[in-house]
Amino acid sequence: MTMGSPLSFTPAACARSTRVALALAGLLALGACTALAPAQKPQAPAAGRYLEPPPGWMAAAPADTLTRTPWWTLFGDPVLDQLVPQVAVSNQNVAAAAAAVESSRAAVREQRASFFPSLSLDAGATRSGTGGKHAATASTAGATTATPAVTNHFSLGLGASWEPDLWGRIANTVSAASATAQASEADLAAALLSAQTAFVVDYLSVREADAEIVTLQTTITGYQRALTITQNRYAAAIAQKSDVLQAQTTLANAQADLASLQQQRAQLFHAMAVLAGQAPATFTLPAGDWNSTAVPAIPTGLPSELLQRRPDIAAAERRVAVANADIGVARAAYFPSLTLSASGTQGAARLGNLFNASSFAWSLGVSLAETIFDGGARTAREDEAQAAWKQSVAQYRQTVLAAFAAVEDQLSAAGSLEQQQALRRTASQAADQTEQEMQNRYKQGLVAYTDVVTAQASALSARRALMQVSLNRQTAAIGMVSALGGGWSTQALETH
Greatest CA separation for the chain = 147
Contacts with 213 (C-beta within 8 Å, 6 or more apart), sequence order: 258, 261, 262, 265, 287
Q: List the beta bridge partners of residue 153.
A: 126
As a 3-state breakdown, the chain gives helix, strand, coil percent values, each rounded to 5, of 65, 10, 25
Q: Rounded to whole angstroms, how far apart are CA atoms 193 and 9?
A: 66
Q: Could you write out the DSSP letters of every residue in 206-219?
A: HHHHHHHHHHHHHH
**pLDDT for residue 106 is more than 50:** yes
Q: Is 209 among the domain residues?
A: yes
Q: Is 341 among the domain residues?
A: no
Q: Which residue has better confidence, 123 or 85?
A: 85
Among 295-299, 457-461, 481-485, the range scoring the smallest mean pLDDT is 295-299
Sign of CA dihedral 207, 209, 215, 217: negative
Half-sphere exposure of 246 (CA within 13 A, CB side): 19
Q: Rounded to whole angstroms, how far apart are CA atoms 152 and 235?
A: 119
pLDDT at 432: 95
Q: Is 96 among the domain residues?
A: yes
Section 182-189 average pLDDT: 94
pLDDT band per the 50, 70, 90 thresholds, residue 152: confident
With vertex at residue 255, the alpha carbon angle to CA 249 and CA 258, rounded to the nearest 5 degrees, is 145
Q: Is 250 among the domain residues?
A: yes
pLDDT at 23: 44
CA neighbor of 117 nearest in space, from 157, 166, 160, 173: 160
Q: Rounded to whole angstroms, how far apart are CA atoms 246 and 230?
A: 10
Q: Is 460 among the domain residues?
A: yes
Range of the domain at 76: 32-107+167-334+376-492
Sign of CA dihedral 216, 222, 225, 230: negative
Q: Is 272 among the domain residues?
A: yes
Q: Could you write out the DSSP letters of every residue in 106-159?
A: HHHHHHHGGGS-EEEEEEEEEEEEE-S---EEE-TTS-EEE--EEEEEEEEEEE
Q: Could you write out the DSSP letters of every residue in 319-342?
A: HHHHHHHHHHHHHHTTS-EEEEEE
Looking up residue 36, the CATH number of its domain turns out to be 1.20.1600.10
Q: Is 429 among the domain residues?
A: yes
**pLDDT tens per residue, range 387-441:** 999 999 999 999 999 998 998 898 889 889 999 999 999 999 999 999 999 999 9
Q: Is 194 among the domain residues?
A: yes
Q: Rounded to whole angstroms, how far apart are CA atoms 320 and 186?
A: 14
CB 104 within 8 Å of CB 112: no
**pLDDT tens per residue, range 462-479:** 999 999 999 999 999 999
- Work out how many domains the chain is built from and give that number: 1
Q: Rounded to whole angstroms, how far apart are CA atoms 131 and 153?
A: 18
pLDDT band per the 50, 70, 90 thresholds, residue 94: very high
Calculate the alpha carbon distances from 152 to 148, 149, 351, 355, 359 in Å. 13, 10, 9, 15, 14
Q: State residue 126 phi and psi, 5-degree precision.
A: -125, 150
